């Protein structure tokens, strides 16, 4: 199984062990710094930690980490040149499999500017992007995200994440891939399955988004095994368990 969005730097060794024993072979760790980012050096240190430190820590328990780096909307800073220089280098060296997570959170002008600039870089380098949608005003902000994304990047390069029953209709007919985050306070297993049942399995990726907020490191295996118990066909289950992620991220 592949957990397509998590934050390894916020989690314990015990979680990595649980995930691996629970059947997750690979997880994609994204950037998000939960405290003030006053300057680009702090952010760069955070990104380097995810890239250079976390994969070894997870691998001790068998869990392979793939890395997505970028400027999370909550960490938007004006003076961001050194981050963009590093992103270009990581893309060239194939150190990262995507730019992410990026997107809009409070929907400020600065967030929009940094989001757009990262989409332009992704389009230029044909990189995949992982796009965050916020907990607050999700539908309203998703509309802005969609507009900015469609203006700046081929939607086939983009996964729009943390989508739920209230927001899915806004993007289901576009060429985006869609991320379902199964997490306490965000979405239960049952809601993810209701979406898959209604819209079919082809466009979707599953993830736990485990972070410093309430999280369940086993939410992907729980969803996959519930699909199995409910009698869904194995080839459909495999799509959301790993196949769609493998083909989207070229894993
Ligand atoms: Zn996240």
| CA of 231 relative to ligand 1 center, distance in Å | 30
| CA of 101 relative to ligand 1 center, distance in Å | 6
Query: For the residues of 34-103, what is the DSSP string, one character each?
Result: SS---SHHHHHHHHHHHHHTHHHHHHTTTPEEEEEE---GGG--S--HHHHHHHHHHHHTT--SEEEEEE
pLDDT band with cut points at 50, 70 and 90 for residue 186: confident
pLDDT digits (tens, 9 = 90+) for 195-218: 999 999 999 999 999 999 999 999
| CA of 211 relative to ligand 1 center, distance in Å | 7
Q: Alpha-carbon Rg of the chain, whole angstroms?
A: 17
What's domain 2-249's superfamily in CATH? Metal-dependent hydrolases (3.20.20.140)
| CA of 194 relative to ligand 1 center, distance in Å | 22
Res. 242: pLDDT tops 90: yes
Q: What is the C-alpha separation between 105 and 73, in angstroms, rounded?
A: 6
pLDDT digits (tens, 9 = 90+) for 81-125: 999 999 999 999 999 999 999 999 999 999 999 999 999 999 999
| CA of 171 relative to ligand 1 center, distance in Å | 19
Among the listed residues 63, 74, 67, 53, the one whose alpha carbon sits nearest the alpha carbon of residue 26: 63
204 close to 195: Cβ distance less than 8 angstroms:
yes
| CA of 210 relative to ligand 1 center, distance in Å | 7
- The domain locations on the chain are 2-249
Q: What is the mean pLDDT of residues 51-79?
A: 98
Q: Is 72 left (phi over 0), alpha (psi -120 to 50) or beta?
A: beta
| CA of 197 relative to ligand 1 center, distance in Å | 25
Percent of the chain with pLDDT over 70: 100
What's the pTM value of the predicted model, to 2 decimals?
0.97
């Amino acid at each position: 199984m592949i957990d397509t969005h998590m934050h390894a730097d916020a989690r314990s060794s015990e979680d990595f062990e649980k995930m691996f024993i629970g059947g997750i072979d690979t997880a994609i760790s994204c950037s998000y710094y939960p405290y003030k980012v006053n300057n680009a050096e702090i952010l760069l240190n955070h990104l380097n930690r995810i890239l250079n430190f976390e994969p070894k820590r997870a691998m001790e328990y068998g869990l392979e980490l793939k890395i997505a780096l970028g400027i999370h909307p909550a960490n938007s800073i004006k003076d961001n040149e050194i981050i963009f220089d590093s992103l270009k280098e990581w893309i060239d060296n194939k150190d990262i499999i995507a730019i992410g997570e990026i997107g809009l959170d409070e929907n400020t002008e600065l967030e929009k500017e940094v989001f757009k600039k990262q989409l332009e870089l992704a389009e230029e380098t044909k990189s995949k992007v992982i796009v965050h949608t916020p907990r607050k005003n999700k539908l309203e902000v998703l509309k802005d995200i969609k507009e900015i994304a469609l203006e700046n990047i081929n939607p086939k390069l983009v996964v729009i994440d943390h989508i739920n029953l209230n927001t899915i209709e806004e993007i289901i007919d576009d060429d985006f891939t869609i991320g379902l985050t199964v997490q306490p306070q965000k979405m239960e297993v049952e809601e993810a399955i209701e979406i898959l049942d209604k819209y079919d399995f082809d466009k979707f990726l599953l993830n736990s988004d485990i972070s410093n907020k309430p999280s369940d490191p086993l939410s992907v295996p729980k969803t996959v095994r519930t699909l199995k118990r409910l009698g869904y066909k194995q080839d459909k289950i495999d799509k959301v368990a790993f196949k769609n992620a493998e083909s989207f991220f070229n894993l």
